Structure 1
């Protein structure tokens, strides 16, 4: 064990040096050089993983290595690229998760740990709240929030862990004016509990993400009526038993009717967003555990109607999970490869596309993803916000560290990013549930 720890430490030092060179030169880390841990993270570092970079299953032992959450040091501030600054909006929140910005600029925060949705109204050009309120309480682990219709909302939709409800809304409301209306009465509960929401560009379709019950569906059992009957009647890659309607993006009409499965094989799609340039639905996905430090990649991807993304039988294309060896050869050539691969066990949650005018022009059209942080890795990773790089609306596959500094040591962190949203003035809003804080990231230029 001592020799293993020494090898891990030596590898960390080597990779940190590689990252420093990449930061200075603007190079993109690829292949073996792109792997690493929190010591290799700093604003501006770019990584690009491909399916060819996947190691063999069990190349390293699977480990449990959760970082201890500690109080933030005095005067701590996240690390950002030159010209950016971070200012705290609020602290002491009850498990702040997904963040959404209303058309009038109010910031809605799902406080999942407090079973409520809160609202913050900021002073213009500032992180200072001039008003804040609990919009709705008495919820059940609220997570996703969506405004409908988008341009002039009449409703605020909220995803509980087991249902979707909506509240009547008019611009500027800081408190719900009535009790919630139940739109989707029953969603699968337990297991991966987060449920995010997004509407299609025309507002006709409500998408709801539902994560898996388990890590790799080990308790799913036999398909009802036999596998041939099941696959002939269900979408490609649909699960059954305890995984029925799970590891999916579900679709509904705006009033909650007409439930159907939009996509399958997404182990835990914890964040949904619509890409403005293409109107494509995107999700940020936590992949499975137990195959080693660097396997398989987490990812962010556009979601195609009817597509299958692999879970639990395959990952990142036709790479078969050895724990399901030989179970579904019929699916091997039907797996959609995700658009942007992210280092394994980073735990991507929130995703938001940047269409503001405050940040430099190069940011426009890119996306921000919050990485909540690892537990199933020898050297912890994640615990940061990254920027997905796009070119004319198409993902390049590369991503860049944007907001780091939440990790204090190999075993302690003070922050775990979750939600990202773009403020009406073009600032970036970030929630983190390690310390329960909410941040505004602004750009002042090179000064």
Structure 2
């Protein structure tokens, strides 16, 4: 019994030391210039695994008064709505109403604990503290709010709770007269009639989704153009499988769901944490943005934007950016590494891309007419910080054609505290860009600047 007590005490001490060092910002700083880790052929540094990972998360402080982010030249930004509660995702309905998923991480299932060995437990405990400081520790509102800009001035004067008592909702997709909602544990649906401001029906189950400990809990959903299939993202349950591969069953993947029957099949796998989904307007290819793995240096691994091929495997957890083997993962799987697809476009290391929408040429200047808007939530595992902005990746011929262009910046203060953090992005009925800001509790609206 004495040995057991010593072991427990040692574990607690290790956790305390790890937390203290991590929260103090220990770890290795980036050596590559940011532009080197961006594009179709990024420069990949050598892995640098340290006992204590680099921790450099921005403390959440919110916006003061009527402050907001800075728009790029030729653009202006205003608040569509302030005073929301952790808005994570935005979805525009055909009549122009905007749905906002106000949501946060669900509680762990009772008695679930954390998987993996002692170091995994320490890591999970430290990460809980870090994410709390980043603004992710507040209870989930578990609702969808409807916003309506009735007079067309760019600000919503109508606000209603559209649907409540959900389970950490995130993605939304309207197919015909049914609204599909991706909860943390299931895809559900409710009837929808154009113009209604609240849903009166109780959500019905379409299909369960992998849940549990929920290292990555956000689930997104998009319908194909003819409304017969839905595509649902499910992030991994760990960084590199340290909670055990059994906990990863059906995760790190995009699922295809039949709209009528709810039956599903694995569409693509090896995607550590896919979030935003969008159809390219010309090629009709499905694209996603993916958060890659952590804790092997500030310069690794680049998060990415990629088209998604049916049946493709993208490497996680055994390799990254194609066949670059992650030596931390055991047992190794060289057969899977050999077939890992190289992503189309690296966005930079640890920028945490979440939102994705393609522009359509309306409501924005010509330089933003063809390409993808991406909400970068911001890094925790990098020095200096990266992300914390909205960027635009130009496209030509269905593929990325140049470096990202900053669209919204200024989410960090001079002393690098987070006034806001961009998440979901969408276009409104006039082609303006909407941005959900979960730390600032705002939905921003970005448009062409008015002529002087």
Q: TM-score range by the shorter chain?
A: 0.7 to 0.9
Q: How far does the alpha carbon of each residue in 1:313-336 deviate from its partner, in whole angstroms, 9 at most, with x for none?
A: 000011001202771111232111
CA distance in 2, matches of 1:50, 1:59: 25
Matches within 5 A, 1:46-445: 48-58=38-48, 62-112=53-103, 113-148=140-175, 153-189=176-212, 190-220=214-244, 240-324=245-329, 327-396=332-401, 398-445=403-450
Cα displacement (A) at 1:176: 0.6
CA distance in 1, matches of 2:341, 2:219: 22
1:272/1:414 CA distance change after superposition, 3 Å: same
- Taking structure 1 as the reference length, the TM-score comes to 0.82
1:17 aligns with none
2:123 aligns with none
Q: How far does the alpha carbon of each residue in 1:79-125 deviate from its partner, in whole angstroms, 9 at most, with x for none?
A: 11222111112222121011110111110110113100011011444
Q: How far does the alpha carbon of each residue in 1:374-410 deviate from its partner, in whole angstroms, 9 at most, with x for none?
A: 1111211111001011013222263221110000034
CA RMSD of aligned residues (A): 2.3
Cα displacement (A) at 1:74: 3.7
2:121 aligns with none
2:35 aligns with 34
CA distance in 1, matches of 2:146, 2:157: 11
- Taking structure 2 as the reference length, the TM-score comes to 0.81
Cα displacement (A) at 1:59: 7.7
Preserved CA contact (<8 Å) 2:218 2:235: yes
1:361/1:392 CA distance change after superposition, 3 Å: farther
Preserved CA contact (<8 Å) 1:365 1:393: no
Q: How far does the alpha carbon of each residue in 1:251-297 deviate from its partner, in whole angstroms, 9 at most, with x for none?
A: 11003532110000000002212222222111111111111001010
Q: How far does the alpha carbon of each residue in 1:341-394 deviate from its partner, in whole angstroms, 9 at most, with x for none?
A: 011111110111111422123322311110001111121111100101101322
Any idea what SS the aligned residue of 1:198 has? Answer: strand
1:34/1:170 CA distance change after superposition, 3 Å: same
CA distance in 2, matches of 1:52, 1:340: 8
Unaligned runs of 5+ in 2: 1-20, 104-139
Cα displacement (A) at 1:50: 4.3
Any idea what SS the aligned residue of 2:296 has? Answer: coil
Unaligned runs of 5+ in 1: 12-30, 36-46, 221-239
CA distance in 2, matches of 1:147, 1:33: 38
